[in-house]
Structure formats: C-alpha cells, structure tokens
Structure 1
Amino acid sequence: MTNEDKSFNLRLHNALYLMKKNNMWESNYAPPLYKKLWKYGVQIPPPPFCPFWLNTLTFGFFFGMAWGGVMFVLTISISSFSNGVILYYSILAGLLFGLVMAAFHRWRKTVNRLPDWDDL
C-alpha cells in the first residue's frame, strides 16, 4: 500500500466518521455505487466531499446507463423509438439526474458544515 493509498484511506475514514457523527444517512454519504467503487480501488471522495462536476459525472453516467438500458428493454417492441432517440433521452436523463444529485450533495455539505476534502 502506497502513502497515497494510506492518505486516501485515512481521509475516507475521517470523512465517514464525521458524516456519521453529524447524523447524516449512510445512503447519502456512502451510497452503494461509491461503496462498490471504493471496493474496486477507485479513489473517489464521498459525495459531499466531491467536486460538483465529479458528482454530476458519476451519478449522471451510471443513471444514464441504467435509464438507457431500461428504455431499450421496454421499447424494444415499439418501432417508433430508434436507438438514437433512446441514447438522446438517456444522456439527457443522466445529465439532469447528475445535476440534481450534485446540487443535493453540495447542499448537504453546506448544511452539515463539512470541511473540504483537502482539509481532512
């Protein structure tokens, strides 16, 4: 384990402890998506500590992929929807969802007076 890994793990532990101490819901500060990413070694801060753009990208990408898959399965028998339309709507839905989730986590950080990631 490198020093960078140790530093990230220490910050992550401190951040999770701080949010738990502030009575934040675990599903808000450590959603299943992030737990899975941490398990695979992705060094991404918890959502309230992530930059706005990273939350938008992370939540939007995974939601858009899921939404597009569901739309494809549900509309496979309807010939009026082309793959391009499904792709367009999944990108739009992912972008909107990502923006809403990023704004929500920014708000939660402000309300709970959490420090910046670099200050942990």
Structure 2
Amino acid sequence: MSPDLPAPIADFVSANARLDVDGMLKPFAADTVVLDNGQRFEGHAELRALFEKAMVPVKAIFSPETARHENGKVVVEGPAHGDFPGSPIRFTYAFTLQDDIIKALEITA
C-alpha cells in the first residue's frame, strides 16, 4: 500500500509508473534543482535529460512505501525496480514543495 502523498509528488510518482517524461516534469518548478546521488540538475531541460537517460531506458519505476515530513521536506522512501543491475534498489527522495509545486528534490540510494 502506498503512502498518502501531496499532489505534486503523487503526480510525479504516477507519471514515473508510466515512464511518462512530460508527466514527470509537470509537477516541478521551471527553476527546480535536483541532486541525484551527488550530481546537480537545474531546470526542466536538465531534468528531462536525466529522466530520458537514467530512468526511461532501464524502466526505473519508484514505488513509495513510506512518507514523512522532516525539516520542511517530504521524505519518501521505497524501492525502484527496473532493468538495471541490483534491481530493486532502495531510494530516498526528499522533496521541497512550494505553492503545490516541487521546488527541489534530493535523491539518494
């Protein structure tokens, strides 16, 4: 059973389950900053490239199991399954929300 998630995060997760890059981008602010295991991505163009290179080809689908509020962020944890070595891998997504949009995201494995 997946946790109750704020709408922008739920929208991202739902689009990720369909590997829908446009849908995954929609809940992010145009000037979003994403830190993915130490790499920094800024804005929709860089985020699109990340999704198209790192998620879609290997069918990486994140399945949230837990969610909590911590230090002003929504921290969501769960496995990502796909066609990649070590699948599934457990990830932590720390979302910063502002006005019902994802302003920042930090992803760690």
Larger CA Rg, structure 1 vs 2? 1
Choose between structure 1 and 2: higher strand proportion: 2
Question: Same fold per TM (> 0.5)?
Answer: no
Choose between structure 1 and 2: higher helix proportion: 1
- Give the TM-score taking structure 1 as reference length: 0.28
